[in-house]
Protein backbone atom coordinates (compact mmCIF):
# COMPACT_ATOMS: atom_id res chain seq x y z
CA UNK A 1 0.00 0.00 0.00
CA UNK A 2 2.82 2.40 0.81
CA UNK A 3 5.19 1.78 -2.11
CA UNK A 4 3.22 -0.12 -4.74
CA UNK A 5 6.01 -2.69 -4.88
CA UNK A 6 4.85 -6.28 -5.45
CA UNK A 7 5.35 -8.91 -2.78
CA UNK A 8 6.84 -12.22 -3.88
CA UNK A 9 7.45 -14.63 -1.01
CA UNK A 10 7.25 -18.22 0.13
CA UNK A 11 4.93 -18.91 3.03
CA UNK A 12 3.47 -21.76 5.03
CA UNK A 13 -0.31 -21.74 5.06
CA UNK A 14 -2.60 -24.11 6.92
CA UNK A 15 -5.29 -26.24 5.30
CA UNK A 16 -8.70 -26.86 6.90
CA UNK A 17 -7.44 -30.22 8.18
CA UNK A 18 -4.57 -28.37 9.96
CA UNK A 19 -1.85 -29.75 7.65
CA UNK A 20 0.83 -27.39 6.35
CA UNK A 21 0.59 -26.02 2.85
CA UNK A 22 3.85 -24.62 1.44
CA UNK A 23 2.87 -21.86 -0.95
CA UNK A 24 4.34 -19.23 -3.20
CA UNK A 25 2.50 -15.94 -2.64
CA UNK A 26 2.54 -13.05 -5.11
CA UNK A 27 0.61 -9.91 -4.16
CA UNK A 28 0.33 -6.37 -5.47
CA UNK A 29 -1.66 -3.33 -4.42
CA UNK A 30 -4.24 -1.93 -6.83
CA UNK A 31 -4.80 1.84 -6.81
CA UNK A 32 -6.99 4.30 -8.68
CA UNK A 33 -5.74 7.08 -10.94
CA UNK A 34 -5.06 9.31 -7.95
CA UNK A 35 -2.94 6.66 -6.24
CA UNK A 36 -5.48 5.79 -3.59
CA UNK A 37 -5.38 2.17 -2.46
CA UNK A 38 -8.38 0.16 -3.60
CA UNK A 39 -7.54 -3.50 -3.01
CA UNK A 40 -4.80 -6.07 -3.17
CA UNK A 41 -4.51 -8.78 -5.77
CA UNK A 42 -2.83 -12.02 -4.71
CA UNK A 43 -1.94 -15.31 -6.33
CA UNK A 44 -1.20 -18.36 -4.23
CA UNK A 45 0.50 -21.40 -5.79
CA UNK A 46 0.79 -24.75 -4.04
CA UNK A 47 4.50 -25.68 -4.10
CA UNK A 48 4.24 -28.93 -2.12
CA UNK A 49 5.69 -30.99 -4.98
CA UNK A 50 8.53 -28.52 -5.55
CA UNK A 51 9.46 -28.61 -1.86
CA UNK A 52 9.36 -32.40 -1.87
CA UNK A 53 11.76 -32.47 -4.83
CA UNK A 54 14.05 -29.94 -3.13
CA UNK A 55 14.19 -32.03 0.05
CA UNK A 56 14.95 -35.13 -1.98
CA UNK A 57 17.72 -33.34 -3.85
CA UNK A 58 19.18 -32.09 -0.57
CA UNK A 59 19.23 -35.61 0.84
CA UNK A 60 20.95 -36.92 -2.29
CA UNK A 61 23.51 -34.10 -2.13
CA UNK A 62 24.24 -34.90 1.53
CA UNK A 63 24.65 -38.57 0.73
CA UNK A 64 26.97 -37.83 -2.18
CA UNK A 65 29.04 -35.51 -0.02
CA UNK A 66 29.29 -38.15 2.70
CA UNK A 67 30.29 -40.74 0.10
CA UNK A 68 32.92 -38.40 -1.34
CA UNK A 69 34.41 -37.83 2.10
CA UNK A 70 34.42 -41.54 2.81
CA UNK A 71 36.21 -42.20 -0.47
CA UNK A 72 38.93 -39.71 0.49
CA UNK A 73 39.34 -41.39 3.89
CA UNK A 74 39.51 -44.83 2.29
CA UNK A 75 42.06 -43.60 -0.23
CA UNK A 76 44.33 -42.32 2.55
CA UNK A 77 43.95 -45.59 4.45
CA UNK A 78 44.80 -47.62 1.33
CA UNK A 79 47.83 -45.43 0.64
CA UNK A 80 49.13 -45.99 4.15
CA UNK A 81 48.53 -49.75 3.93
CA UNK A 82 50.17 -50.08 0.52
CA UNK A 83 53.19 -48.03 1.61
CA UNK A 84 53.61 -50.36 4.59
CA UNK A 85 53.38 -53.45 2.40
CA UNK A 86 55.94 -52.10 -0.06
CA UNK A 87 58.35 -51.23 2.74
CA UNK A 88 57.92 -54.29 4.94
CA UNK A 89 57.52 -57.08 2.41
CA UNK A 90 58.80 -56.12 -1.03
CA UNK A 91 61.58 -53.95 0.37
CA UNK A 92 62.84 -56.73 2.63
CA UNK A 93 62.71 -59.26 -0.21
CA UNK A 94 64.71 -56.97 -2.48
CA UNK A 95 67.31 -56.47 0.25
CA UNK A 96 67.63 -60.23 0.71
CA UNK A 97 67.90 -60.72 -3.05
CA UNK A 98 70.66 -58.12 -3.22
CA UNK A 99 72.60 -59.90 -0.42
CA UNK A 100 72.21 -63.30 -2.10
CA UNK A 101 73.43 -61.99 -5.45
CA UNK A 102 76.46 -60.39 -3.83
CA UNK A 103 77.20 -63.67 -2.02
CA UNK A 104 77.01 -65.59 -5.30
CA UNK A 105 79.19 -62.99 -7.00
CA UNK A 106 81.87 -63.22 -4.33
CA UNK A 107 81.89 -67.04 -4.54
CA UNK A 108 82.51 -67.23 -8.28
CA UNK A 109 85.76 -68.50 -9.60
CA UNK A 110 87.60 -66.50 -12.26
CA UNK A 111 86.28 -68.80 -14.98
CA UNK A 112 82.69 -68.60 -13.67
CA UNK A 113 82.94 -64.82 -13.34
CA UNK A 114 83.82 -64.55 -17.02
CA UNK A 115 80.72 -66.57 -17.94
CA UNK A 116 78.02 -65.18 -15.62
CA UNK A 117 79.67 -62.18 -13.96
CA UNK A 118 78.12 -59.67 -16.37
CA UNK A 119 74.66 -61.18 -15.84
CA UNK A 120 75.00 -60.96 -12.07
CA UNK A 121 76.14 -57.34 -12.31
CA UNK A 122 73.11 -56.62 -14.46
CA UNK A 123 70.84 -58.32 -11.89
CA UNK A 124 72.41 -56.25 -9.09
CA UNK A 125 71.81 -53.08 -11.10
CA UNK A 126 68.16 -54.03 -11.66
CA UNK A 127 67.71 -54.81 -7.97
CA UNK A 128 69.20 -51.42 -7.04
CA UNK A 129 66.88 -49.60 -9.47
CA UNK A 130 63.89 -51.55 -8.16
CA UNK A 131 64.80 -50.70 -4.57
CA UNK A 132 64.99 -47.01 -5.50
CA UNK A 133 61.67 -47.17 -7.36
CA UNK A 134 60.01 -48.95 -4.42
CA UNK A 135 61.37 -46.32 -2.04
CA UNK A 136 60.03 -43.52 -4.25
CA UNK A 137 56.60 -45.18 -4.42
CA UNK A 138 56.55 -45.73 -0.66
CA UNK A 139 57.43 -42.15 0.15
CA UNK A 140 54.96 -40.88 -2.45
CA UNK A 141 52.17 -42.94 -0.89
CA UNK A 142 53.08 -42.10 2.70
CA UNK A 143 56.28 -40.11 3.31
CA UNK A 144 57.89 -41.20 6.57
CA UNK A 145 59.38 -37.73 6.88
CA UNK A 146 55.88 -36.41 7.59
CA UNK A 147 55.64 -38.52 10.74
CA UNK A 148 59.19 -37.82 11.87
CA UNK A 149 59.91 -34.21 10.93
CA UNK A 150 56.64 -32.40 10.22
CA UNK A 151 54.95 -30.53 7.41
CA UNK A 152 57.64 -28.11 6.21
CA UNK A 153 60.34 -30.78 5.92
CA UNK A 154 57.90 -32.99 3.99
CA UNK A 155 56.92 -30.19 1.62
CA UNK A 156 60.59 -29.35 1.00
CA UNK A 157 61.33 -33.00 0.24
CA UNK A 158 58.32 -33.20 -2.06
CA UNK A 159 59.24 -29.93 -3.81
CA UNK A 160 62.66 -31.37 -4.67
CA UNK A 161 61.08 -34.54 -6.04
CA UNK A 162 58.48 -32.57 -7.98
CA UNK A 163 61.11 -30.27 -9.52
CA UNK A 164 63.23 -33.24 -10.56
CA UNK A 165 60.30 -35.07 -12.18
CA UNK A 166 58.37 -32.22 -13.80
CA UNK A 167 60.95 -29.52 -14.53
CA UNK A 168 58.75 -26.96 -12.75
CA UNK A 169 60.76 -25.19 -10.05
CA UNK A 170 58.95 -25.60 -6.71
CA UNK A 171 59.82 -23.37 -3.75
CA UNK A 172 58.63 -23.79 -0.14
CA UNK A 173 58.31 -20.84 2.22
CA UNK A 174 57.28 -20.58 5.88
CA UNK A 175 57.74 -22.49 9.12
CA UNK A 176 56.03 -25.35 10.91
CA UNK A 177 53.08 -24.33 13.12
CA UNK A 178 53.80 -24.42 16.85
CA UNK A 179 52.42 -26.49 18.45
CA UNK A 180 52.46 -29.07 15.69
CA UNK A 181 49.21 -29.82 13.87
CA UNK A 182 47.37 -33.11 14.27
CA UNK A 183 48.65 -35.92 12.06
CA UNK A 184 45.39 -36.08 10.09
CA UNK A 185 45.56 -32.35 9.35
CA UNK A 186 49.22 -32.52 8.27
CA UNK A 187 48.36 -35.42 5.97
CA UNK A 188 45.42 -33.51 4.50
CA UNK A 189 47.56 -30.42 3.80
CA UNK A 190 50.28 -32.53 2.20
CA UNK A 191 47.75 -34.31 -0.02
CA UNK A 192 46.28 -30.99 -1.16
CA UNK A 193 49.75 -29.70 -2.07
CA UNK A 194 50.45 -32.99 -3.84
CA UNK A 195 47.22 -32.79 -5.86
CA UNK A 196 47.78 -29.11 -6.68
CA UNK A 197 51.31 -29.79 -7.91
CA UNK A 198 50.06 -32.70 -10.02
CA UNK A 199 47.58 -30.34 -11.69
CA UNK A 200 50.36 -27.78 -12.22
CA UNK A 201 52.56 -30.38 -13.92
CA UNK A 202 49.73 -31.63 -16.15
CA UNK A 203 47.83 -28.50 -17.08
CA UNK A 204 49.42 -25.20 -16.00
CA UNK A 205 52.47 -24.96 -18.34
CA UNK A 206 54.16 -23.16 -15.46
CA UNK A 207 57.81 -22.49 -14.74
CA UNK A 208 57.49 -21.76 -11.02
CA UNK A 209 55.31 -23.06 -8.20
CA UNK A 210 55.43 -21.46 -4.76
CA UNK A 211 54.17 -23.27 -1.66
CA UNK A 212 53.70 -20.99 1.35
CA UNK A 213 52.79 -22.03 4.90
CA UNK A 214 51.61 -19.16 7.13
CA UNK A 215 50.71 -19.55 10.79
CA UNK A 216 48.30 -17.08 12.35
CA UNK A 217 46.78 -17.01 15.86
CA UNK A 218 43.49 -18.51 14.70
CA UNK A 219 44.39 -20.52 11.61
CA UNK A 220 47.07 -22.12 9.47
CA UNK A 221 47.09 -21.13 5.81
CA UNK A 222 48.76 -23.00 2.95
CA UNK A 223 48.95 -21.42 -0.50
CA UNK A 224 50.04 -23.05 -3.75
CA UNK A 225 50.60 -20.48 -6.52
CA UNK A 226 51.94 -20.91 -10.05
CA UNK A 227 52.79 -18.64 -12.98
CA UNK A 228 51.08 -20.85 -15.54
CA UNK A 229 48.30 -20.42 -18.07
CA UNK A 230 45.47 -20.33 -15.51
CA UNK A 231 41.83 -21.17 -16.19
CA UNK A 232 38.32 -19.88 -15.59
CA UNK A 233 37.73 -20.79 -11.94
CA UNK A 234 34.05 -19.79 -12.25
CA UNK A 235 33.29 -22.24 -15.05
CA UNK A 236 31.02 -25.21 -14.36
CA UNK A 237 32.66 -28.59 -13.79
CA UNK A 238 32.35 -30.76 -16.89
CA UNK A 239 32.04 -34.57 -16.76
CA UNK A 240 35.40 -36.22 -17.40
CA UNK A 241 37.35 -33.04 -16.60
CA UNK A 242 40.23 -34.49 -14.56
CA UNK A 243 41.52 -31.04 -13.67
CA UNK A 244 38.20 -30.07 -12.07
CA UNK A 245 37.97 -33.47 -10.42
CA UNK A 246 41.30 -32.84 -8.72
CA UNK A 247 40.05 -29.49 -7.47
CA UNK A 248 36.93 -31.15 -6.05
CA UNK A 249 39.06 -33.73 -4.22
CA UNK A 250 41.15 -30.95 -2.69
CA UNK A 251 38.03 -29.14 -1.53
CA UNK A 252 36.65 -32.33 0.03
CA UNK A 253 39.92 -32.94 1.87
CA UNK A 254 39.84 -29.44 3.33
CA UNK A 255 36.21 -29.78 4.45
CA UNK A 256 36.89 -33.15 6.12
CA UNK A 257 39.50 -31.43 8.31
CA UNK A 258 37.10 -28.58 9.11
CA UNK A 259 38.82 -26.12 6.80
CA UNK A 260 37.98 -24.30 3.61
CA UNK A 261 39.64 -24.09 0.22
CA UNK A 262 39.62 -21.13 -2.15
CA UNK A 263 40.64 -21.22 -5.81
CA UNK A 264 41.63 -18.06 -7.67
CA UNK A 265 42.57 -18.30 -11.32
CA UNK A 266 42.33 -16.24 -14.49
CA UNK A 267 43.33 -17.41 -17.98
CA UNK A 268 46.87 -16.26 -18.67
CA UNK A 269 47.56 -15.13 -15.09
CA UNK A 270 48.26 -18.31 -13.16
CA UNK A 271 46.43 -20.00 -10.31
CA UNK A 272 46.41 -19.63 -6.53
CA UNK A 273 44.93 -22.30 -4.26
CA UNK A 274 44.51 -21.39 -0.59
CA UNK A 275 43.47 -23.73 2.19
CA UNK A 276 42.79 -22.49 5.72
CA UNK A 277 42.49 -24.67 8.81
CA UNK A 278 41.34 -23.28 12.16
CA UNK A 279 43.72 -24.06 15.02
Kindly give the pairing relationship between strand 260-265 and strand 271-278: antiparallel
The residue-averaged pLDDT of 44-62 equals 91
The predicted-structure confidence for 240-272, as pLDDT tens digits, reads as follows 555 677 788 888 888 888 899 999 998 999 999
pLDDT over threshold 90, residue 152: yes
The predicted-structure confidence for 18-43, as pLDDT tens digits, reads as follows 999 999 999 999 888 888 888 889 99
pLDDT value of position 85: 83
Query: Do residues 150 and 180 touch, judged by C-beta distance below 8 A?
Result: yes
Query: Do residues 23 and 13 touch, judged by C-beta distance below 8 A?
Result: yes
pLDDT value of position 90: 87
Q: Report percent pLDDT > 70 for the chain.
A: 97
pLDDT value of position 271: 95
Any residues with CB less than 8 A from the CB of 141 and at least 6 apart, and which? 79, 80, 82, 83, 86
> What is the pTM (predicted TM-score) of this model?
0.66
pLDDT value of position 240: 53
Q: Where are the domains of the chain?
A: 7-46, 67-141, 150-278
The predicted-structure confidence for 187-244, as pLDDT tens digits, reads as follows 899 999 999 999 999 999 999 999 999 998 889 999 999 999 998 877 665 545 556 7
The predicted-structure confidence for 75-124, as pLDDT tens digits, reads as follows 777 877 888 888 788 888 998 999 999 999 898 888 888 888 889 999 99
CATH 3.20.20.70 fits 150-278, yes or no: no
pLDDT value of position 1: 77
Burial profile 69-97: b = 16 or more Cβ within 10 angstroms, e = fewer: eeebeeebeeeeeebeebbeeebeebeeb
The predicted-structure confidence for 56-73, as pLDDT tens digits, reads as follows 999 988 887 778 777 777
Amino acid sequence: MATGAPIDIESKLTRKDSTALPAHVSAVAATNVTGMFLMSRARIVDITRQKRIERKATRYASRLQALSRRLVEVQDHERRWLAGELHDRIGQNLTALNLNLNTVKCGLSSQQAEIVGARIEDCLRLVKETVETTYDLTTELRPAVLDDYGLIATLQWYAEQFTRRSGVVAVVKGNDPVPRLAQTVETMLFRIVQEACTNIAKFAKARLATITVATEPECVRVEIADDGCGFDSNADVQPGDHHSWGLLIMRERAEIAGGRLRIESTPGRGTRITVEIRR
